[in-house]
Amino acid sequence: MKKGNCCFAAIALLLISNAHGKRQSVSEAPLASRVKEACHYNTDGSVDCRYTVAMQILTTAGRDRLSRIDFSYPEEDTFTLVESSVTFPDEPAQPPMSAEVDIRTEPNPYLGFSRNKTLSLAFPHLRVNAVIRYTLQYHQTAIPFNAHFTDMRTFPARRPTSGCVPDNLHRRAAAVLSCEVTR
Domains of the chain: 26-146 (2.60.40.3140)
Kindly report which listed range (63-77, 94-108, 162-176) carries the lowest average pLDDT score: 162-176
- Quote the mean pLDDT of the chain: 71
Residue 14 pLDDT greater than 60, yes or no: no
Q: What is the pLDDT of residues 32-52, one digit of tens each?
A: 889 999 999 888 888 899 999
Phi, psi of 46 (to 5 degrees): -80, 165
Q: Are 63 and 55 in contact (CB under 8 A)?
A: no
Residue 12 pLDDT greater than 80, yes or no: no
Kindly report which listed range (13-17, 47-51, 102-106) carries the lowest average pLDDT score: 13-17
Buried b / exposed e across 32-43, counting CB within 10 Å, b at 16+?
eeeeeeeeebee
Phi, psi of 57 (to 5 degrees): -85, 125
Residue 55 pLDDT greater than 80, yes or no: yes
Kindly report which listed range (16-30, 69-83, 131-145) carries the lowest average pLDDT score: 16-30
User: What integer is the mean pLDDT of 23-37?
Assistant: 80
Per-residue model confidence (pLDDT) at position 103: 79
The DSSP code sequence of 105-154 is EPP-SSTTSPPEEEEEEE--S--TT-EEEEEEEEEEPPPTT--EEEEEEE
Report, in this order, helix, strand and coil percent for the chain, each rounded to 5. Answer: 15, 45, 40
Query: Which residue has better confidence, 9 or 147?
Result: 147
Kindly report which listed range (14-23, 31-40, 62-71) carries the lowest average pLDDT score: 14-23
Confidence of residue 158 (pLDDT cuts 50, 70, 90): low
